[in-house]
Chain A
Amino acid sequence: MNEHNPLTALDRPNSYIGRALPRPNLTRLLQGRGQYVSDMSLPRMAHVAFVRSPYAHARINGIDATEAKAMPGVVAVVTGKELAEVCTPWVGVLSHLKGLKSAPQHAIAVDRACWQGEAVCAVIAETRAAAEDAAERVMVDYEELEPVTDMMTALDSETPLIHPELGDNLAFERNLDVGEVDKAFAEADAVVEAEFVFGRHTGVTLEPRAVIGDWNPGEERLTVYQGTQAPHMMQNIIAKHLGLEEAQVRVVCKDVGGSFGIKVHVYPDEMAVVALSKLLRRPVKYVADRIESFNTDIHARDHRCKAKIAVKADGLITGFAIDDVTGIGPYSMYPRTSAIEANQVVNLVGGQYTNQNYRARTRVVFQNKNVTCQYRAVGHPIACSITEGLVDLAAREIGMDPAAMRRRNLIPDDAYPCAAASGLKFESLSHHASLDKLLSMMDYDGLRAEQAELRKRGIYRGIGLATFIEVTNPSAAFYGVGGARISSQDGVAIRLEATGRIIVQTSITEQGQGSEAITAQVAAHALGVPMERVRVILGDTDNTPYGGGTWASRAAGIGGEAAWQAGKALRTNILAVAASILQADADALDIVDAKVVDKGTDVERMPLEEVARIAYFRPDTLPPGFQPELMAVRHFVPREYPFAFTNGIQASWLEVDPDTGFVTLLKHWCVEDCGTIINPQLVDEQIRGGIVQGIGPALYEHCLYDERGQLTNASMADYLVPMASEMPDIEVGHVVSPTMESELGAKGAGEAGTAGAPAAVVNAVNDALAPFDVRIVEIPMTPEVILRALGKI
């Protein structure tokens, strides 16, 4: 813990912050007692199967459901037009992304389908199988339209417009010009340029998207069981588009089988399901199958970026310039928009370095493919790959060691607070300490010697470094200022039960990363009770404080601080009650191991259950006018900095077979700085999982579309996720620079691994192939990409 927090001392009982503790929910999950929406069943529940467009772009001239409606078990067949009467369309824009435009999007396409897989009709039946049988009988009269698939020609005048009313296929453009870029490039000793290509990929969750809408006409309330990261956001949006008051909507989100950003968006088919429940006055369930997931879960990346770097002979970086294009599908996703990733790329490129000359342009274009939106590490892997790719290419150009090049340019550890060329404000980062730690963990010099030795024997191994910065703990600057009702604050309510046990209700959510665990740790620590006494409740808009949820590496830093403050407040309240019972001075008392004790000596005065017993059942024995308050609520949001930046560095060690183009990952290291570490095991596993999710798109993952806009590999056999057998051992180290915005000092750790891994792997492949003078700036680096670069095919 950081020194500015006087309440902590790791050697006392109930000191849980900083300890690697197993997650309290593990046993339940491992016994198969999780409450996943996919497993839920309600009385009278019907199931939906969607008829989905086989075309990337088509007009819907008519839908004949006569035969489908006559199939056994069918409850209803509902078209987009019919559903539009219960669910209004939306437009995915935010006012702070100036100029961002999109077209109204319906829950079910009304007269036009704009990507292959867009829902055009819903079939509701007693079972999913019956719904699928009937869906096959729905006759849709499509008129295929010319699809826009190539983002590089989407803006050409001869390319058809996806939404003619918007005037062009440009959703958003941002330009930035800081410092003296032209001068920097003119006066550089070396300029290196490259065109980086980032394939489209998606997040593959173990549990697919799942939702149950349960409209209860008796109380005019809609209960939505949903695998979502942001229940309050969903509550607001569902109410808004179904014409309900927020108070009429309850979103319940218990266990979620993975999310990675996939489940923080408003999906048209999920909106359709809740609207159908209202329409049909019964529970309606939908679980995306794997093909639907590939075709409709948001995709990400899909960038092409021309970039260059200016350097001096001594390695000083004097300029970065990028020109980025990204294709986002036919609509900007609601409500977080599909421009954030590109915006982040502009914000982040070069942000770890001292250079202040930077020019950037990004253009976000529409196309007839599935929508893209925020997925783990939004924009970061792209910005990091561009920055770190250029730095390595420049180092090679001027003959400088890549580690030395970074040491020359990283913002010094004593320079904070300061700002990046793009304007990002940094409170306190540790680039140099992280670099030093990484180099010693990996024995950089030893590895270089080994590499040289092996090369003589025809074995080509490479080392790739990637420094990164990472947005965490976002304030209202992310969405709130743009007009979205997405809370950036979180709340925690904590209370002492009559039996002396503790209930904690928090607005952050759990999708497997351990939100429940860290909340319990922080609360137990703040109160001075064994963790087993703490029960955490989350994921229910009726039963938690209002808040943002879990996304953007925010839950521990923001929700954790709220838990800390709430725990402290309850502790004060409990001690006030105890003091009045014991006729002692509250300041002379403390709570240790769920007992009120004399501060300093830890001599027991009374257990918490006794405090609770008196407060709840014998308040008559308390002094007149004294009211025990055994529940405390606290909220938290960072205000001073828009984001709590973290930083770190990764390294990849791998071997490339120049005859086959196959890459074997040998080892990966990461040193990161997420401030105070609440649970080292959870942080390390977040980093490891994140790294694997970054290696995926570097080597394997790719949503392959053909020129007609057909996704051709929508199955787990053809879309290659990274698997354990190919993954290297990943060693994780930490430097700790707590944020001073909170007492806890924790920043986020969920996305850092994904941010840096692709750059590290690409740099390592290029380093391995340096003797062949090869340069690869395209991911995924399939064997074919590598063979082509080597001139073998």
Chain B
Amino acid sequence: MKAAAFDYVRPASVAEALELLRRHGDAAKLISGGQSLVPALNLRLLAPEILIDLGGLDLRSIAMDGGVLRIGALARHVDLLNSALVAEHAPLLALAMPHIAHPAIRNRGTIGGNLAHADPASELPAVMQALDAAIVVEGADGTRRVDARDFFTGIYETVLAADEMIVGVEIPVAEAGRRFFFHEFSRRSGDYAIVGLAAAATVAGGTASDVRLCYFAVGDKATLAEGAGAALSAGPMSVERVAAAQAALAEDLSPQDDQQGSAATRMHLARVVLARATAALFDDPALAGRTAA
């Protein structure tokens, strides 16, 4: 398990990094925290000729800018976990952070690397979608903001072009009355989930509106369950409404079989977590639909 030999370069600016990317094309790989890339190198799943280390770039800040929380691509998981701004303005992100890996990995892994890696079981792509975040991408042609919902295209696949990089994310601050729920089923703490849900909704007078249910580890990418979201917000909340939303998941999700669980298990757990999310968002345990003998 030794990586194949590679060259290494550490640019001092985004422009320089982009220039290096343009010059080396497919032969190059960006490296941020290395927590996904290095294992792949050691397993020789990847053998780039050159690594472009983004570690020298000034992209680690977390700051408020009007109604938007801006997070630099190199902000590490541990930074987000400990950030008072994140806790206040993006509580869903704060809820998700402890579920990402273990402290040693959170100390180095970055949000930019995580989103670019686009692991379908990762928490962050789901959180970004549930929060209507934009992913800020820079390339030769300048900067573009990609809606998180459009960013992920498949397993480890995104809309990033070969000569582009993520420089940050922008998250609209949480409005008053917005409620959040985060849960994942994983076999051991710190593992990637078998099924996870990042949810946001506005709850007023027993009715939900603007429901965002973003599932991860179900299918080839984090997926907004739009049918279920619509079903939940179609009228006053009730056990029947939860059941209707659960039924809608059959259309929203296309879970895969793998060694962590069959498609049937995933679909079942997706329904269970939906009910639990609703119970939590409405603060009404009866909606959780727990089994009793």
The reply to whether A793 and B264 form a contact with Cβ atoms under 8 Å apart is yes
Judge if A455 is at the interface, Cβ distance under 8 Å: yes
List CB contacts (< 8 Å) of B245-286 with chain A: 259, 261-262, 264-265, 268-269, 272
CA distance A305 to B189 in the complex (A): 33
Shortest distance between the CB of B1 and any CB in chain A (Å): 4
List CB contacts (< 8 Å) of B115-140 with chain A: none
User: Known interface pairs A660-B185, A772-B293, A783-B194. Does A793 touch B1 (Cβ–Cβ under 8 Å)?
Assistant: no
CA distance A390 to B292 in the complex (A): 27
User: Known interface pairs A660-B185, A660-B269. Does A712 touch B1 (Cβ–Cβ under 8 Å)?
Assistant: no
CA distance A720 to B191 in the complex (A): 9
Helix, strand, loop or mixed for chain A's interface? loop
The reply to whether B268 and A793 form a contact with Cβ atoms under 8 Å apart is yes
Q: Which residues of B contact A713 (CB under 8 A)?
A: 259
The reply to whether B259 and A659 form a contact with Cβ atoms under 8 Å apart is no
User: Known interface pairs A720-B187, A725-B188, A771-B293. Does A793 touch B265 (Cβ–Cβ under 8 Å)?
Assistant: yes
Which residue on B lies nearest to A290, using beta carbons?
B1
The reply to whether B259 and A712 form a contact with Cβ atoms under 8 Å apart is yes
The reply to whether A718 and B265 form a contact with Cβ atoms under 8 Å apart is no
From A136, A772, A784, give the contact of B261 (CB < 8 A): A784
The reply to whether B190 and A783 form a contact with Cβ atoms under 8 Å apart is no
Q: Which residues of B contact A152 (CB under 8 A)?
A: none
Shortest distance between the CB of A468 and any CB in chain B (Å): 26
The reply to whether A660 and B262 form a contact with Cβ atoms under 8 Å apart is no
CA distance A726 to B189 in the complex (A): 7
The reply to whether A723 and B261 form a contact with Cβ atoms under 8 Å apart is no
Q: Produce 1/0 per residue, A429-465, CB < 8 A to B.
A: 0000000000000000000000000010010100000
CA distance A725 to B98 in the complex (A): 13
From A136, A658, A700, give the contact of B291 (CB < 8 A): A658
User: Known interface pairs A133-B4, A700-B187. Does A660 touch B272 (Cβ–Cβ under 8 Å)?
Assistant: yes
A residues contacting the other copy or chain, number (CB 8 A): 35
CA distance A784 to B194 in the complex (A): 11
CA distance A772 to B291 in the complex (A): 10
From A129, A455, A704, give the contact of B293 (CB < 8 A): A455
CA distance A581 to B111 in the complex (A): 78
Q: Produce 1/0 per residue, A711-747, CB < 8 A to B.
A: 0110001101011011000000000000000000000
CA distance A712 to B272 in the complex (A): 28
Q: Which residues of B contact A289 (CB under 8 A)?
A: 1
From A132, A659, A723, A772, give the contact of B272 (CB < 8 A): A659
Judge if A662 is at the interface, Cβ distance under 8 Å: yes
Q: Produce 1/0 per residue, B219-248, CB < 8 A to A.
A: 000000000000000000000000000000
Which residue on A lies nearest to B291, using beta carbons?
A658
Judge if A787 is at the interface, Cβ distance under 8 Å: yes
The reply to whether B261 and A783 form a contact with Cβ atoms under 8 Å apart is yes
Judge if A588 is at the interface, Cβ distance under 8 Å: no
CA distance A132 to B289 in the complex (A): 54
The reply to whether B188 and A723 form a contact with Cβ atoms under 8 Å apart is yes
Judge if B161 is at the interface, Cβ distance under 8 Å: no
Q: Which residues of B contact A290 (CB under 8 A)?
A: 1
Q: Which residues of B contact A458 (CB under 8 A)?
A: 290-292
B residues contacting the other copy or chain, number (CB 8 A): 28
CA distance A596 to B234 in the complex (A): 92
Q: Which residues of A contact B191 (CB under 8 A)?
A: 720
The reply to whether A132 and B2 form a contact with Cβ atoms under 8 Å apart is yes
Which residue on B lies nearest to A136, using beta carbons?
B44
Q: Which one of A290, A726, A793 has the greatest number of beta carbons of chain B within 10 Å?
A: A793
Shortest distance between the CB of A118 and any CB in chain B (Å): 18
The reply to whether B293 and A784 form a contact with Cβ atoms under 8 Å apart is no
The reply to whether A704 and B2 form a contact with Cβ atoms under 8 Å apart is no
Which residue on B lies nearest to A289, using beta carbons?
B1
CA distance A133 to B187 in the complex (A): 36
CA distance A718 to B265 in the complex (A): 18
Shortest distance between the CB of A517 and any CB in chain B (Å): 30
Shortest distance between the CB of A214 and any CB in chain B (Å): 23
CA distance A723 to B3 in the complex (A): 28
Q: Which residues of A contact B185 (CB under 8 A)?
A: 660, 662, 783
The reply to whether B188 and A784 form a contact with Cβ atoms under 8 Å apart is no
Which residue on A lies nearest to B3, using beta carbons?
A129
Q: Which residues of A contact B293 (CB under 8 A)?
A: 455, 460, 658, 771-772
Q: Which one of A458, A660, A725, A771 has the greatest number of beta carbons of chain B within 10 Å?
A: A660
Q: Which residues of A contact B2 (CB under 8 A)?
A: 128-129, 132
Judge if A247 is at the interface, Cβ distance under 8 Å: no
From A460, A704, A787, give the contact of B265 (CB < 8 A): A787
Q: Which residues of B contact A129 (CB under 8 A)?
A: 2-3, 5
List CB contacts (< 8 Å) of B185-203 with chain A: 185, 187-192, 194
Judge if A639 is at the interface, Cβ distance under 8 Å: no
Q: Which residues of A contact B194 (CB under 8 A)?
A: 783
Q: Which residues of B contact A784 (CB under 8 A)?
A: 261-262, 265
CA distance A460 to B292 in the complex (A): 9
Judge if A605 is at the interface, Cβ distance under 8 Å: no
Q: Which residues of A contact B268 (CB under 8 A)?
A: 787, 792-793
List CB contacts (< 8 Å) of B149-190 with chain A: 185, 187-190
Which residue on B lies nearest to A720, using beta carbons?
B187
Q: Which residues of A contact B265 (CB under 8 A)?
A: 661, 783-784, 787, 793
Which residue on B lies nearest to A726, using beta carbons?
B188
Q: Which residues of B contact A660 (CB under 8 A)?
A: 185, 269, 272
Judge if A291 is at the interface, Cβ distance under 8 Å: yes
User: Known interface pairs A713-B259, A725-B189, A787-B265. Does A291 touch B1 (Cβ–Cβ under 8 Å)?
Assistant: yes
Q: Which residues of A contact B289 (CB under 8 A)?
A: 659
Q: Which residues of B contact A291 (CB under 8 A)?
A: 1, 43
The reply to whether B259 and A793 form a contact with Cβ atoms under 8 Å apart is no
List CB contacts (< 8 Å) of A685-728 with chain B: 700, 704, 712-713, 717-718, 720, 722-723, 725-726
CA distance A726 to B261 in the complex (A): 19
Which residue on A lies nearest to B271, using beta carbons?
A659
Q: Which residues of A contact B261 (CB under 8 A)?
A: 782-784
Which residue on B lies nearest to A47, using beta carbons?
B2
Which residue on A lies nearest to B1, using beta carbons?
A289
User: Known interface pairs A712-B259, A720-B187. Does A659 touch B291 (Cβ–Cβ under 8 Å)?
Assistant: yes
The reply to whether A659 and B4 form a contact with Cβ atoms under 8 Å apart is no
Shortest distance between the CB of B285 and any CB in chain A (Å): 10
CA distance A784 to B43 in the complex (A): 29
CA distance A555 to B86 in the complex (A): 55
Which residue on A lies nearest to B269, using beta carbons?
A660
List CB contacts (< 8 Å) of A609-662 with chain B: 658-662
CA distance A772 to B194 in the complex (A): 25
Q: Which residues of B contact A771 (CB under 8 A)?
A: 293
Q: Which residues of B contact A783 (CB under 8 A)?
A: 185, 187, 194, 261, 265, 269
Given contacts A132-B1, A658-B291, 19 further A-B contacts (CB under 8 A): A129-B5, A136-B44, A289-B1, A458-B290, A659-B272, A659-B289, A659-B290, A661-B265, A712-B259, A718-B259, A720-B187, A720-B191, A726-B188, A772-B293, A783-B194, A783-B265, A784-B262, A792-B268, A793-B264
Would you give 11 A-B contacts (Cβ < 8 Å), ordered by A?
A133-B4, A458-B290, A659-B272, A660-B269, A700-B187, A718-B259, A725-B188, A783-B269, A787-B268, A793-B262, A793-B264
| 4 tightest Cβ-Cβ pairs between the two chains A and B | A771-B293, A129-B2, A289-B1, A725-B189
- A residues contacting B by CB (< 8 A) are 128-129, 132-133, 136, 289-291, 455, 458, 460, 658-662, 700, 704, 712-713, 717-718, 720, 722-723, 725-726, 771-772, 782-784, 787, 792-793
- B residues contacting A by CB (< 8 A) are 1-5, 43-44, 185, 187-192, 194, 259, 261-262, 264-265, 268-269, 272, 289-293
